[in-house]
Structure 1
């Protein structure tokens, strides 16, 4: 089976969880003998290589100054489309196209219709969900492209039941068109050094509360900062470490200064995988206070590192963590509730021992990439089988014109 995957981020270009997901799934599929070909964004010049059995083609966008964000994305899609057409013509055959998020929708839809290939898409998040509504013309435009991608797709993949509900409600996508396949994690990739580096981040008598993620409002780091003063009343020697970068960073630093917490909060910026894994290992509590979270791969990473996780009872996080069983939950957006659960991880040592033991068991059992690749491969095979027995243009539609001729170009799914 030959798969063409389109994505706007892929390691080493990692902006959020999407890159981790695409890489993890692609590697697992390659281990099962699938011919996976990833076309993604590159830097400066084209670079094609094979990595863990996956053929990666990193293509720079057109060297034109974009007038705005949307034109930048369209330049990117033209580059991806140009490379993909060359590859498909060279190969002579592709079985299925897999598009990840709206940023590659233009290229994906065009390839679908040029070569009459089945298209599957993964919606990792929605513009509506990220912004708690659509408030600007740009947000409304992005949401319309997301809808268009779901409409053009044979099946729509999402990572949680919460995301299935979100996609169905926002885009009116039929329930039977949406499949839930969780994100996964490569447990063997979460490594910690035997050499103690904890003192790089905090003194030996300080408690570490850790956040890892992109610094944007929906990740809820502001709630964590708001919760810190009450945590400090219980454990004055607590250090909050914030690992990650993003457009909300300066606002968060302003909040820290306004609360007089400069000595208790450390912004680490971008950390590589090794540093991230060390932080997970040495944290006394890992907090994910997201206001919006389709899934939360970082929560899985924290759970296998042997430290207790505290998550907002929201989105995919709520499905991963069972309160008091493999982690702790708090009321989303509620700093008091968050502080209560962080304090529990400091004070109830027997509970923490039970949580971390069960967390590792659950992640190992439910979230391996090999298992997730099996589910995805089964879906691919189902779609490919259906596509071989489905007429691309239904005869009844082509031969029985029920609309004026000028309307037919608007039926993007059909050639008439």
Structure 2
């Protein structure tokens, strides 16, 4: 099967979770015998064409935009032109697979021009991110999401929660939506004995301090402020022997001010951006990962912590309770509730044997439910279904 993939993110361009998703899914589909051509955005010194783990990567230049939406228009124009050229020269293609609304216009145009069925993976919705649609920008984005969902032969989402959300918010039929979880490659994580772990750890905390960390974007829906509100109770209960490490780029001034106001400034470390290599080592020496999101379609960061063998505490929002099974593979706390979050963190920090039991269960769950080879087979089943259905359709 020959598939054209459109995504605005692909390494080394990393914005959110889409880049990791597409970079780890499609090599497995290549192993299953499919030919994948992936269209993405030009970035830095990355070549305009290269073969990455069997995937044909095509990076297209995108003209400067007056604002974000103008840039997205330019993105779709470039992807549409390059995609059309590919489909004429390398075709015929069996499927088009688009990841999120930003590439929707190009994907829809290619679908109609070449009469090739379109599959859309919806990673998140504008409505979900802001718990509603409140301004013109959000109205525009939500409209584009609905248009992509409408034009898709089938829709893939990452959790049962997202299936309900896409049905409700994007007005998509329930039986048009397939749930396929995100996955991870656990083998890439180092172990304690693989590097000078104690000296590395001392860059972030004293030996006696337990390290509690968050990694991700600093946006409101990630709930970092809830974690900071939980920190004083945790620090008090641990006799001062806890350190909160906040990892991620973006503006953290308001969060640093919050830490100062709470009187925990000396127990917080805002690292800014951290490279993958550094983060992999950091997770190895940490004691507890916390993801207190207010909105989270899936929570691939939880899988990263599973793979790094770090006990996980999350909120019970979105897809997180599907990923983290409460009291079996992690602790699930009440959303936007700092008392509940502090309780969850203390359960892990005060009970090392329990924390290790959670770690062991979570690592086993990676192979059982979040293995990319298995998820690629589920994706292939969707592809097979669409191609088979397409064969019975006369497309005017």
TM-score range, shorter chain: over 0.9
User: Where does residue 362 of structure 2 map in the other structure?
Assistant: 359
Relative to the length of structure 2, the TM-score reads 0.96
User: Where does residue 263 of structure 2 map in the other structure?
Assistant: 260
Residue 189 of structure 2 corresponds to residue 185 of structure 1: no
Paired with 2:156 and 2:91, the residues of 1 have a C-alpha distance of 27
Identify the range of structure 1 (11-20 vs 265-274) with the bigger mean alpha-carbon deviation. 265-274
Q: Aligned match of 1:244 in 244, 248, 254?
A: 248
Paired with 1:209 and 1:44, the residues of 2 have a C-alpha distance of 34
User: Where does residue 288 of structure 2 map in the other structure?
Assistant: 285
User: Where does residue 401 of structure 1 map in the other structure?
Assistant: none
User: Where does residue 33 of structure 1 map in the other structure?
Assistant: 33
User: Where does residue 301 of structure 1 map in the other structure?
Assistant: 304
User: Where does residue 388 of structure 2 map in the other structure?
Assistant: 385
Q: How does 1:57-68 map to 2 (within 5 A)?
A: 57-62=58-63, 64=64, 66-68=65-67
Quote the offset at 1:27 in angstroms.
Answer: 1.4
Q: Aligned match of 1:344 in 331, 336, 347?
A: 347
**What secondary structure does 2:38 align onto?**
strand
Deviations 1:186-217 (A, max 9, x none): 11122343321211211111110011111111
User: Where does residue 112 of structure 2 map in the other structure?
Assistant: 113
Deviations 1:88-138 (A, max 9, x none): 111131110000000000100000011000000000000000011111100
**Contact 2:186–2:308 (Cα < 8 Å) also in 1:** no
Quote the offset at 1:43 in angstroms.
Answer: 2.6
**What secondary structure does 2:221 align onto?**
helix
Residue 56 of structure 2 corresponds to residue 52 of structure 1: no
**What secondary structure does 1:81 align onto?**
helix
User: Where does residue 370 of structure 1 map in the other structure?
Assistant: 373
User: Where does residue 174 of structure 1 map in the other structure?
Assistant: 173
Quote the offset at 1:16 in angstroms.
Answer: 0.8
Quote the offset at 1:314 in angstroms.
Answer: 1.2
Paired with 2:218 and 2:339, the residues of 1 have a C-alpha distance of 21
Paired with 2:296 and 2:44, the residues of 1 have a C-alpha distance of 33
Paired with 2:31 and 2:261, the residues of 1 have a C-alpha distance of 51
Paired with 2:152 and 2:367, the residues of 1 have a C-alpha distance of 31
Residue 164 of structure 2 corresponds to residue 165 of structure 1: yes
Gaps in structure 2 of 5+ consecutive residues: none
User: Where does residue 20 of structure 1 map in the other structure?
Assistant: 20
Quote the offset at 1:44 in angstroms.
Answer: 6.2
Quote the offset at 1:251 in angstroms.
Answer: 2.1
**What secondary structure does 2:202 align onto?**
helix
User: Where does residue 79 of structure 1 map in the other structure?
Assistant: 78
Gaps in structure 1 of 5+ consecutive residues: 394-416
User: Where does residue 136 of structure 1 map in the other structure?
Assistant: 135
User: Where does residue 397 of structure 1 map in the other structure?
Assistant: none
Paired with 1:72 and 1:33, the residues of 2 have a C-alpha distance of 35
**Contact 1:280–1:305 (Cα < 8 Å) also in 2:** yes
**What secondary structure does 1:120 align onto?**
strand
Paired with 2:187 and 2:120, the residues of 1 have a C-alpha distance of 28
Paired with 1:326 and 1:35, the residues of 2 have a C-alpha distance of 36
User: Where does residue 269 of structure 1 map in the other structure?
Assistant: 272
Runs in 1 of length 4+ with deviation above 4 angstroms? none
Quote the offset at 1:257 in angstroms.
Answer: 2.4
Identify the range of structure 1 (312-321 vs 185-194) with the bigger mean alpha-carbon deviation. 185-194
User: Where does residue 103 of structure 2 map in the other structure?
Assistant: 104
**What secondary structure does 2:265 align onto?**
coil
**What secondary structure does 1:292 align onto?**
coil
Q: Aligned match of 1:211 in 214, 223, 230?
A: 214
Identify the range of structure 1 (137-146 vs 267-276) with the bigger mean alpha-carbon deviation. 267-276
Which of these two proteins has the greater Rg computed from alpha carbons? 1
Paired with 2:280 and 2:314, the residues of 1 have a C-alpha distance of 18
Relative to the length of structure 1, the TM-score reads 0.91
Paired with 1:389 and 1:44, the residues of 2 have a C-alpha distance of 44
